[in-house]
Structure 1
Amino acid sequence: MTKQRLSTLALTCALVLSGCSSAPQQTHTQLHQHDRLDKHSALLIQARMARFAHLQQQSEEDEISDLWSLTRTHLGLELDLNDLRIEQHFAWLAKHPQHLTNVSEQALPYYYYVLDQVIERGMPAEVALLPVIESGYNPYALSPSNAAGPWQFIPGTAKHFGLENNWWYDARRDIVASTDAALTYLSQLNEQFGGDWLLTLAAYNAGGGTVSRAIEYNQARNLPIDFWSLNLPQQTMNYVPKLLATARMIRDAEDYGLELADIPAEPYFAEVETGGQVDLKQAAELAEIDLDELKQLNPGFSRWATAPEGPHRLLVPVEQAEQLQQALESLPDEERVNFASYTIKSGDTLGALARRFNTTVQVLQTTNRIQPHQLRVGQTLLVPAASDRIALKPSGSGPG
């Protein structure tokens, strides 16, 4: 990322925040009639603007070489508030420095992409730290409420933002798809709450309706309507301070002897269009990378191959992208996914065969161009099989 681009993006962030200063208490679409601004909020906005002015000048003067420096340059929230919850979380992080060290290592393949997208949208860099709080930057994280992926989308919200979840693929784990959905969701919430990022973050955790009702409750009683004054679920009242404490610790990492993973300020991966379904083991061999690394960059794929209906792309380390692209372009269609044959026996059904061979009815129908009523004894079916399977064998329901 060039120095000129950093300067432009810092200026963009400053302009976005300056728009908030003209109507700082418009924290909800229904609150435009209420222009009451307490002294504390005014001081926070002034401090935020001063910080962005300073950081813009810094980004023009300094050559940014690592992502943590870039993160510090684009922090936009007030991190030094005298709040007990922030201090408690900060004290815990200071006492357990290995936590953020481990998370930063987990984030290494993904963090450039996320931070770059956050900055491109004019958001404060703290937003790129949300997956630290949500999942520890683990794309396979799954909560008891079935929230999944680095941004922890629950099924209903995921569906609303077009994140598909099927037998082959879970977009909630896909770093590109889930990041786009999360930032779109945060943008909508930020607009709903008049540019107030603390309310936005609270709404990401608790839901926009919960925060709106808390605002309306305080408003009806002529009480302050900033985040700190609302009566929100305990989890949410800890969620925002936890993020602020995390951002503050990363900002002051050197002062506290915190060692973060060395992440250069340059892309880690590139997208390669596959043109159709491909075997992951075969793709790793074509790209000359380890299969585990390919899976780490493409955690959205749940099986041994990419999804038949897409997305038809793979993320690979930048250095390997051109090699894989060229190899896939010259790869015959019949070599993309291996198939084994199975002879239909009396009593077989597509549903039973799909369960037996760890696939789906739709895949069997599409591959063999048949309908369920067209099965007959002695007929040979083609069943997709991973490239490292010598023979077709029934398997369990776990990822292949």
Structure 2
Amino acid sequence: MPVIVGVSRGQMFLMSYFPVARSLRLAPLAAALGLLAACATGGSKPAAPASVKALYAQLDQASQGYETALQQARDNDTDASEKTLKQSLDQLRDAAAHCENTEGCDPQRFFSVFDHLLRLKDGSFIGDESPDDKDNESPSGQVAGLNGAASLPQAQRSVILLHGQKLSELIAMNGPVKAALEMWLTQWRPNLMDAYVNYEYLRHEMWPQYQKADLPEALLFGIMAKESGGKVHAVSRSGAAGPLQFMYATGLRFGLGNVNGFDTRFDPADAARANAAYINEQLKAFNDNLELTLGAYNGGEGRMRRLVGSDTSVSFYDPRIYDQLSQETRDYVPSVLAAAWLFLHPNSYNLRFPKIDGVPGHITLKRAASISELTVCLGEAGGMQDGWFRTLRNLNPRLDPQQEQPVGAVLQLPKPLEKAYASRCVDGPWPILASDLHNAVVPVVPVRHDPPPVSKARRYTVRHGDTISSIARRQGCSSVHEIEHLNGIRHHSIRVGQVLKLPACRR
């Protein structure tokens, strides 16, 4: 039950309960909400200026409007709910914008309320259309590209629980997560958009594996966005491979390996299944502590278990844990959580993911062609400005993109491209052009093994205090042995005024 403090109804929403087992991880958010409630009581602080009171009044009105929108949604009046919700959020955003330039106004009050309202929405629009996600739905109300059990409205997929707990309650909106949000919305924004597009075309293969494992889709997206950006054939410098970047030995533990010459770490469905099994294994080990689980996924479960010991309720950000991890892992965990959060609430962060019709389809080749040739002849069909090479590779991971596939071969591709293939890639000029480019002959230049250049000696006049070692060190590119050999010197014996030959620099 909510904890009610002696404040007006407009501030009651600030004091929602948090599960005890998560109190440490949600401490930053809970503290912020507690401070906000304390401010509302007035205390001994001087009265706020009228301009600040007016902004705080808008904050109260926005919160009341939000509660009204939730009740309208519960009463199945979705149109009214959406309108009220939009008005409330607009009012909150407007007041927050003015707060920043108003002396005496505390912006943190607005940030805390905004964060809390998003969390409240996650638990209240089950089965209804979420305003954040409406633009990504197909006209039928189902997410394009899915069939069967995976055909869920976006609002439903945004409130899938992680082992009985709302995902939004497991993401502490603290400094590292906020910093990661800013990175995704600025420097990493192109990567985030690419990851979303890639994921939407792979969703029919990957999401059902997470759904079977009772894991939230936003978590899958967050991991994939950070690991590979949805590039199925990605390989890291350490040897991690596939869309979810499994090391070979770890992949073997979860059924990934070499099958008929193909490394199944590159198979989106197999990788998602293995990832879900790994995440559930680590959640069990860390008592459903999501942050520690993600830290184990990146930094190694053995290391994380040694750091955590028996105290699985410890916060990932506790210095005993956080300070002992690599910078990569310290960045990885909040980055995954921030990407998952944006997947749930794009519009609330001024972010618009593109509309993607990822319904799976296939073609049977009517003329021999490689993936590269198909990419050329398809061009920008369907408005894909970056072309279809990445998508075709992702959907056909077992094929060499440069290898021509025979007539009759079946290739996977988004269903809307079936007509584009028939009109562009079977007859006419485009397949001829694509074939001509693909089969172009590039001259092969034989590798030359030229002898090393002959070094040209330089000259140096010995000065008072010089030694062969000091001369070599000062020149920065000559050794004592080379100087002695070149000048016939024995026992390091040199004299002032002597002219020495110095070997050429060999840095």
Q: TM-score, normalised by structure 1?
A: 0.55
Q: Which residue of 2 aligns with 1:295?
A: 393
Between 1:296-305 and 1:232-241, the stretch displaced more is: 296-305
Q: Which residue of 1 aligns with 2:175?
A: 84
One-letter amino acid of the structure 2 residue matched with residue 204 of structure 1 = Y
* Residues in 2 aligned to 1:182 and 1:280: alpha-carbon distance in whole angstroms: 34
One-letter amino acid of the structure 2 residue matched with residue 56 of structure 1 = I
Distance 1:94 1:261, change over 3 A: same
Q: Which residue of 2 aligns with 1:239?
A: 332
- Does the CA-based 8 Å contact 1:110-1:268 persist in structure 2? no
One-letter amino acid of the structure 2 residue matched with residue 262 of structure 1 = K
Secondary structure class of the residue paired with 1:176: helix
> 2:359 pairs with 268, 292, 296, which one?
268
* Residues in 2 aligned to 1:126 and 1:38: alpha-carbon distance in whole angstroms: 19
Deviations 1:279-310 (A, max 9, x none): 9859x99xx9899564331124447779xxxx
Q: CA deviation at 1:184?
A: 1.7
* Residues in 2 aligned to 1:294 and 1:39: alpha-carbon distance in whole angstroms: 45
Q: Which residue of 1 aligns with 2:218?
A: 126
- Does the CA-based 8 Å contact 2:251-2:265 persist in structure 1? yes
Q: CA deviation at 1:260?
A: 1.2
Question: Which of 1 and 2 has greater Rg?
Answer: 2
Q: Which residue of 1 aligns with 2:158?
A: 72
1:155 matched to 2:239: no
Aligned length: 279
1:193 matched to 2:281: no
- Does the CA-based 8 Å contact 2:122-2:158 persist in structure 1? no
- Does the CA-based 8 Å contact 1:270-1:317 persist in structure 2? yes
1:212 matched to 2:298: no
Q: How does 1:1-400 map to 2 (within 5 A)?
A: 37=21, 39-40=23-24, 53-58=123-128, 64-66=141-143, 69-70=154-155, 71-74=157-160, 76-78=167-169, 81-96=172-187, 97-129=189-221, 130-165=223-258, 168-216=261-309, 219=311, 225-229=314-318, 230-231=320-321, 232-234=324-326, 235-264=328-357, 268-269=359-360, 281=370, 292=389, 294-302=392-400, 315-318=412-415
* Residues in 1 aligned to 2:273 and 2:214: alpha-carbon distance in whole angstroms: 14
Distance 1:280 1:60, change over 3 A: same
Ranges in structure 1 where 5+ consecutive residues have no aligned partner: 1-20, 25-36, 273-278, 307-311, 322-387, 390-400
- Does the CA-based 8 Å contact 1:135-1:152 persist in structure 2? yes
Q: CA deviation at 1:112?
A: 3.9
* Residues in 2 aligned to 1:185 and 1:191: alpha-carbon distance in whole angstroms: 10
Distance 1:69 1:302, change over 3 A: same
Distance 1:93 1:214, change over 3 A: same
- Does the CA-based 8 Å contact 1:77-1:126 persist in structure 2? no
Deviations 1:145-190 (A, max 9, x none): 0111110011211222232247842211111221121112222222
User: What RMSD over aligned residues (CA atoms) do the two structures have, in Å?
Assistant: 4.7
- Does the CA-based 8 Å contact 2:286-2:293 persist in structure 1? yes
Secondary structure class of the residue paired with 1:228: coil
* Residues in 1 aligned to 2:359 and 2:242: alpha-carbon distance in whole angstroms: 19
Distance 1:261 1:251, change over 3 A: same
Q: TM-score, normalised by structure 2?
A: 0.44
* Residues in 2 aligned to 1:208 and 1:59: alpha-carbon distance in whole angstroms: 38
* Residues in 2 aligned to 1:315 and 1:137: alpha-carbon distance in whole angstroms: 17
Between 1:88-97 and 1:148-157, the stretch displaced more is: 88-97
* Residues in 1 aligned to 2:130 and 2:288: alpha-carbon distance in whole angstroms: 26
Distance 1:99 1:77, change over 3 A: same
- Does the CA-based 8 Å contact 1:269-1:315 persist in structure 2? yes
Distance 1:147 1:253, change over 3 A: same
- Does the CA-based 8 Å contact 2:256-2:270 persist in structure 1? yes
Distance 1:302 1:158, change over 3 A: farther
- Does the CA-based 8 Å contact 1:268-1:317 persist in structure 2? yes
* Residues in 2 aligned to 1:154 and 1:127: alpha-carbon distance in whole angstroms: 20
* Residues in 2 aligned to 1:73 and 1:107: alpha-carbon distance in whole angstroms: 19
* Residues in 1 aligned to 2:22 and 2:215: alpha-carbon distance in whole angstroms: 24
Secondary structure class of the residue paired with 2:317: helix
Distance 1:42 1:85, change over 3 A: closer
Distance 1:298 1:49, change over 3 A: same
Distance 1:149 1:53, change over 3 A: same
Q: CA deviation at 1:213?
A: 0.7
One-letter amino acid of the structure 2 residue matched with residue 72 of structure 1 = S
* Residues in 1 aligned to 2:240 and 2:196: alpha-carbon distance in whole angstroms: 22
* Residues in 1 aligned to 2:256 and 2:172: alpha-carbon distance in whole angstroms: 36
